[in-house]
Amino acid sequence: MLRYVIKRVLTVIPVLLGVSLLVFGFIRMIPGDVATVMLGERATPENVARVREQLGLNKPVYEQYLIFIGNALRGDLGRSVLRQEPVTQELLRRFPATIELALSAILIALLVGIPAGIVSAIRRGSVFDAASMLLALTGVSMPVFWLGLMLIFLFSVVLHLLPTGGRLGASMEFTATTNFLLLDSLLQGNFHVFFQALRHLILPAVALGSIPMAIIARMTRSAMLEVLSADYIRTAHAKGLKERAVVINHALRNAWLPVITVVGLQVGRLLSGAILTETVFSWPGIGRWLVDAIYARDFPIVQGATLFIAIIFVGVNLLVDLLYAFVDPRIKFE
């Protein structure tokens, strides 16, 4: 097992190097001088020279890449040109907001998607099966930004039940320790802030969790249907086991592998930064920060945040790969 873990970790290294090379190369492939593009109307010769010196653009390309990789390995992803703040510091400050949103979204997707997929497989061809798969197809096809706007219109504008965006009300003051508002408010015993943060979280979490919910429901149904037609399931029924025991102890346990794969991919995608959702709901996470940096042409932020997102995605997929052995004992790592 240890040899397999080491082998898988080593295979991640060239993937991350390739991603870093692509990120580095795409920034340099922008037409024109990068410093001039970043400065826009402020592109005086003095400012251009200053930015080129700050970003190391006056050095050979291979040397720029080696400096970028060396700094990244030390946790230094550069400094924002406009804000003059370290990218790593800003990244760590905003990442808890994205984690809070992504975990809430995947929790909603799991709590709804897995039971819906199981019931649809058990009652194949029923009205519930048709309705749930129709909703799943709608969830996969529906743009998340459109769903977010519709949720805001219905629950915020029409019904006045939930706020339109942000993490807390503009007039509410709260000093966060870890920047996980739900956790910090509970630790401080501030239940008013906790419920307000929860109210602000509901709509973006539902909007972000709609696509993973649909994908998980369809994959759970497909995996369960394949397992329920197996010989050992018929044997379990013939032995007189209750339906619930057959479904949970036999069918579901053997259907977990493809479901875990899909869940891992969705968690990686959500943690990587839900750009559209965070933009629609003014959620101060990595996604919105990255969009603002693109509009402002602050390429050190774009470069550093994209590399960080790639690391998160690859790391989650590596974790899912290692979980296979614990879920399915038939898998042997060599």
The closest of 142, 100, 79 to 283, measured between CA atoms, is: 100
Same domain, 116 and 213: yes
- 85: in domain: no
Same domain, 61 and 109: no
Same domain, 223 and 275: yes
- 79: in domain: no
Q: What single-letter amino acid sits at 39? A: L
Separation between Cα atoms, residue 192 and residue 184, nearest integer Å: 12
- 332: in domain: no
Same domain, 13 and 64: yes
Separation between Cα atoms, residue 100 and residue 186, nearest integer Å: 14
Check: CB of residue 37 under 8 Å from CB of residue 298: no
Same domain, 26 and 173: no
CA gyration radius for the chain?
Answer: 24
Same domain, 13 and 99: no
Same domain, 100 and 247: yes
Burial-class residue 332 by CB neighbours within 10 Å (0-12, 13-18, 19+): exposed
Same domain, 25 and 163: no
Same domain, 57 and 103: no
Domain that holds residue 222: 95-327
The closest of 213, 211, 263, 209 to 101, measured between CA atoms, is: 209
- 120: in domain: yes
- 78: in domain: no
Same domain, 21 and 169: no
Tally of domains in the chain: 2
- 50: in domain: yes
- 55: in domain: yes
CATH number of domain containing 165: 1.10.3720.10
Same domain, 140 and 205: yes
Check: CB of residue 312 under 8 Å from CB of residue 95: no
Start-end of H helices in 41-190? 45-55, 61-73, 87-122, 127-141, 144-151, 181-187
Check: CB of residue 36 under 8 Å from CB of residue 57: no
- 29: in domain: yes
The token duo for 127 is 């009205």
Same domain, 144 and 101: yes
Q: Which residue has the tokens 């992504």?
A: 102
Separation between Cα atoms, residue 295 and residue 302, nearest integer Å: 10
What DSSP state is assigned to residue 325?
A: H
pLDDT of the chain along its 334 residues, tens only? 677 777 777 888 888 888 888 888 877 776 666 677 667 666 777 777 877 777 777 778 788 888 888 888 888 888 887 777 888 888 888 888 888 998 899 999 999 988 888 888 888 888 888 888 888 888 778 888 888 899 999 998 998 888 888 888 777 777 778 888 888 888 888 888 899 889 999 999 999 888 888 888 888 888 888 888 877 777 877 877 787 777 777 777 777 778 888 888 787 777 765 788 888 898 888 888 888 888 777 778 888 888 888 888 888 878 877 777 666 666 655 5
